[in-house]
Structure 1
Amino acid sequence: MNEVALQVAETPLEETVVRIALAGALGMFLGLEREWSQKSAGIRTFSLISLLAAVFTVLAVEAETPIGEGLLVLGGVLVIVQGVLLAVQGLMSEDEAGLSLTTSVSMLVAYGVGALVAVGFILEGVTVAVLSSLLLVLKRELHEFAWGLSHEEMRSTIEFAILAFVIYPILPAETTVEFAGLAIPLEPQVIWLMVVAVAGIGIANYAIVTTYGGRGIAITGFFGGLASSTAVVGTMLDHVRQRPEAASYAVAAILLANAAMATRNLAIAVGFTAGSDSEILVEAIVPLGAVIVLAFAVAALTADWDESGPMELESPFSLRNALGFGVVFLGVLVFGSLAETWFGTLGFYATAVASGFVSSAGATTSAVVLYRGGQLGGPEATIAILLATVSSIVVKALLASTSTNTDFRNRVAAYSAVLLIGGALASVLVVV
C-alpha cells in the first residue's frame, strides 16, 4: 500500500491520469459553493462535468480519434443545454432567475476547466477555478459594490479600463524619436504604464481616503510608493487639486513614498548580496537608512494624523491629470536620454540617473547584478544606487512643482532637499 502511495506521489503532473484526477478535484472545488448555497447543481454535478471534459479532451487530443473531437463538442453542447434548462427553470421563479443563470455559466466554466487541465494548462485551469469560486463566494460584496457606485465612480472605472486594457496593449514596446539631431529611444508602453499607475493608485487612494481620511493618505503614500513612488505624485497632485486644505497630507504621502522607494532599494542592495560570493553592500545602508528615517520623521511631524475622519473627494482620479502627468513624464525621459548621451564616459552613472526617473528599483537591480558578477566594485555600485535614489527624489519634487498650489510644491521641494542633505551628510560621516 505504501509503495502504491509513493508511486502516486512521484507521478508527474504531465501524466494523463493525474490530470484527469485534478480536473475532477477542481470541478468539485467549483461546485462546493453551489452545494453550500443549496443549488440544483452541486459538488457531484460539477465534478462530473469537469471529469467528462477531461476524458473527452484526452480522447480528442492524445488519442487523436474523430469520435473524441465529436464527443468533446457534444459534451459542451450538453452542458449548454443543461444550463439553458436551469435558466428557464429559474425564469419561472423570479427569485431564482439570477442564481440559476450563475449556476448555468459556472457549469460551462467547470467544463472549460476540465478541458484546460486535460491538455496540460494546469496553472491556467487552477487560476480559472479559483477566480470563479471567488466570484461566487463574493456575490453579496460584489453586488453591494456595484450598486453603491456613483455615476462619477462608474465613469472613472470605465476610463481606467480603457487606459489599462485597451490602449496599453496596442502601444509599441519601443520606438525612436529624433530630437536635436539625436535619435532618442523611448518605450511608449513604459510611459503609458505610468499613466495607468497614476490612475490605479488614484482609485486605491480614493477608496482608502474616503474611508480612513488622512491616515488613508499615509497608506497610499507608502504602499503606493512600493509599487511606483513616482506615480504617487500624480495621485497627490490630483488630491491637492480637489482638496487644497489637505496639502499637508499629500506632502506627507510623497515623503512616505520616498521612504518606501528607499526601503525597496535598500532591500535589493542588501538582500541580493547577502549569502553570495560578494560582500554585502553595507555602504548603501547608512545613506538610504537616513533617507528612510528622515522621511518618516518629517511625515509624522508635518501632518495631523489624529484627524482620521472621512474626506470627500470629487472622483477616484482625473483623466486629464493622469494624461498631463504622462506628458510631463515623457519630457523627463527625453531629458534623461539626452543626459545619458551627452555624458559619454559617465554613461553608467547617467543611466542610473535616467533610470531613477522611471524606477530606481531597476537601476538598483542592475547595479547589484553587475556587482555580483564582478563588473562593478562596491563603491561604484553604491554610487549608482544612490544616484538612482536621488534621481527619484528629485523628479518627484520637479513633478510636484507643476501644481498650482504654491504651499504644496514649496513644501515638497523643501522636504525633498532635507532628505537629500540628510542622506549626503550620512554618507560623508561614514567616509570620514
Structure 2
Amino acid sequence: MSVPIQLSSFPVDTAVLRILLAGALGMFLGLEREWSQKTAGIRTFALISLLAAVFTIVGSEVLLVVGGVLVIVQGVLLAVQGLLQEDDRLSLTTSVSMLVAYGVGALIASGYTLEGVTVAVLSSLLLVLKRELHSFAWGLSRQELRAATEFAIIAFVVYPLLPADPVAVPGGLLDITVELRVIWLMVVFVAGIGIVNYAVVQSYGGRGIAITGFFGGLASSTAVVGTMLDHVRQRPEATSYAVAAILLADAAMALRNLLIAVVFSFEHGLLLAAVVPLSAVIVGSVVVAAHTADWGETVDMELDSPFSLQNALAFGGVFLLVVVVGGVASARFGTAGLYVTSALSGLVSSAGATTSAVLLYRGGAIGEQTAMVAILVATAASIVVKAALTAPGPNRKFASRVALWSSVVLGGASLTVVAMLA
C-alpha cells in the first residue's frame, strides 16, 4: 500500500529556498533600476542579494562585513560615475538601493522572511513612485511641511518614550490608573485622520458638499457648521445642501468614534455593543443627507493646517482629563457619573469621551453595555451642540431643519439602544 506524499511533510524553511527567495527579491528590486536604464540593473541586484544570502548562511561575519563594504564601495563608484556623466548631479538612489538589496538578502537568509519581503516591497514602491513623491514634496507649503514633521514627532518619538504599563495618578488621591501610551495613540489616530481629511478636502473640496461635510467633519465639525452658516447667509436657497452637509459631518464624527471603539478594544474583547447604535447614527445621517439634497450644489471649504504640536498637546490633555474624570465619576458615583461625564465631555470632544469609555472597558472597570451607552451619550452630545451652533444664525429655516433631522437621527439610534437593553 503506497503512502501519499504530502507537500506539508517537506521542510519549507530550507537554505535553498531562502537563497531562491533572496535572489527573487533582488531581481524585484533591480527591475525598476533596469527599466530606468541605470548602470546596475536586475542581474546586479539579484547577485548582490544572493551574495548576502550565501555569506549569511555560511555564518561568517567577516565575509558578511566584507561583502557589505564591497557593495558600498561599488555604490560610491557608480555615484561618482553618474556625477561625471549626468549633468554634474550626484544621484545616490541606485547606490543605496544596492545596499538595501544586500540587506534584504541577509534578512531572508537569517530567517526574517516577512521583514525581508516588507523591506523589498517598500523599497521598490519608493523607486517606482519617484515622480509622484517628488511632486508631492515640492507641492507642500512650509506650514504643511511643519505639520508633517510635528506629526512624525508625536507618532515616532513621543509615543515610544511613554511607559507601556498603566501608571497611577500622582499624589495617591485618586485610586485609578491610566494607560498613557493608549491615550497618546488615540491622539496619533485622530490626528492621522485629520491629515488624510485635509489632503482630500484640499484636492476635492470644491466638488461637492458631500465631500466638504463628511471629510470636513472628520477633522472639525465646528468648521463645517461655520462654513454652512456663512453659505446659507449668502445663498438662502442652498439651505437643504447645508443641512445635508452638517448631517454628513455627524456621520463622519460617529464613524470616527466607531473606529476608536472597535480598533482600540480589539485586543481586550471587541466592543460589539457600540457598533449597532453608532452605525444607526451613520446610516441615519447619510440617508437624511441623501434625501434633503440633490448634490448639484458645490461649496469650497478652507481648512487650517492639518496638524500642529500645540494642538496635539492640547488634545492629549483633553483625553487625559476625560479619562481621569470619567474614572473618578465611575468609581465614586457609579454608572450615572460616567454618563454625565460623557455628556459634558461630548460637548467638547466626543472622541475624548469615547476614549474614556473604551479605556474603562479595556481595564474591566465597566461592562460592554455601560461603555456602549457612554459612547452613544457622547455622540449625541456632539450632535446636539452642532445643532445648537446653528441657532444664532439669521436663517431660522436652516436652524430648525438641522434640529429636526438631528432629532430624527438621535431618535433612531436611541431606539436601537432600547431594543438592545430590553
Superposition TM-score, scaled by structure 1 size: 0.72
1:22 partner amino acid? L
Identify if the C-alpha distance between structure 1 residues 267 and 106 changes in structure 2 by more than 3 Å, giving closer, same or farther. Answer: closer
SS at match of 1:182: coil
Indicate yes or no: 2:254 matched with 1:258. yes
Indicate yes or no: 2:420 matched with 1:425. no
Counterpart for residue 371 of structure 1: none
1:38 partner amino acid? Q
Select 1:131's aligned residue among 109, 122, 137: 122
1:290 positional shift = 4.0
User: How far apart, in 1, do the equivalents of 2:260 and 2:154 lie?
Assistant: 27
Identify if the C-alpha distance between structure 1 residues 220 and 79 changes in structure 2 by more than 3 Å, giving closer, same or farther. Answer: same
Q: Which runs of 5+ in 2 are unaligned?
A: 232-241, 346-351
Counterpart for residue 85 of structure 1: 77
Identify if the C-alpha distance between structure 1 residues 263 and 143 changes in structure 2 by more than 3 Å, giving closer, same or farther. Answer: closer
User: How far apart, in 2, do the equivalents of 1:364 and 1:301 lie?
Assistant: 37
Counterpart for residue 180 of structure 2: 188
Identify if the C-alpha distance between structure 1 residues 245 and 158 changes in structure 2 by more than 3 Å, giving closer, same or farther. Answer: farther
Residue correspondence of structure 1 range 279-428 to structure 2 within 5 A: 290-300=280-290, 305-308=295-298, 310-343=300-333, 357-358=354-355, 383-384=369-370, 386-394=372-380, 396=382, 418-426=408-416, 428=418
Indicate yes or no: 2:191 matched with 1:199. yes
Decide whether the 8 Å contact of 1:209 with 1:215 is kept in 2.
no
Residue correspondence of structure 1 range 50-65 to structure 2 within 5 A: 50-60=49-59
Indicate yes or no: 2:36 matched with 1:37. yes
1:189 positional shift = 1.8
1:18 positional shift = 1.1
1:206 partner amino acid? Y
2:253 partner amino acid? A
Identify if the C-alpha distance between structure 1 residues 310 and 88 changes in structure 2 by more than 3 Å, giving closer, same or farther. Answer: farther
1:365 positional shift = 9.2
1:43 positional shift = 1.0
User: How far apart, in 1, do the equivalents of 2:406 and 2:227 lie?
Assistant: 23
1:157 partner amino acid? A
Indicate yes or no: 2:153 matched with 1:157. no
1:357 partner amino acid? T
Decide whether the 8 Å contact of 2:277 with 2:376 is kept in 1.
no
Identify if the C-alpha distance between structure 1 residues 209 and 388 changes in structure 2 by more than 3 Å, giving closer, same or farther. Answer: same
RMSD: 4.6
User: How far apart, in 2, do the equivalents of 1:243 and 1:141 lie?
Assistant: 34
**Which has the higher mean CA deviation after the structures are superposed, 339-348 or 288-297?**
339-348
Decide whether the 8 Å contact of 2:229 with 2:390 is kept in 1.
no
Q: List per-residue Cα deviations over 1:107-141 (Å, max 9, x = no partner).
A: 00000000011111110000000000000000000
Decide whether the 8 Å contact of 1:357 with 1:391 is kept in 2.
no
Superposition TM-score, scaled by structure 2 size: 0.74
Q: Which runs of 5+ in 1 are unaligned?
A: 61-67, 223-231, 274-280, 368-375
Aligned residues between the structures? 387
Identify if the C-alpha distance between structure 1 residues 358 and 429 changes in structure 2 by more than 3 Å, giving closer, same or farther. Answer: closer
Identify if the C-alpha distance between structure 1 residues 194 and 250 changes in structure 2 by more than 3 Å, giving closer, same or farther. Answer: farther
Select 1:118's aligned residue among 109, 121, 128: 109
SS at match of 1:106: helix
Identical pairs, percent? 53
Identify if the C-alpha distance between structure 1 residues 40 and 23 changes in structure 2 by more than 3 Å, giving closer, same or farther. Answer: same
Q: List per-residue Cα deviations over 1:343-375 (Å, max 9, x = no partner).
A: 4599999999999621777889999xxxxxxxx
Q: List per-residue Cα deviations over 1:32-74 (Å, max 9, x = no partner).
A: 11111111111111011000000001112xxxxxxx2211111
Indicate yes or no: 2:219 matched with 1:220. no
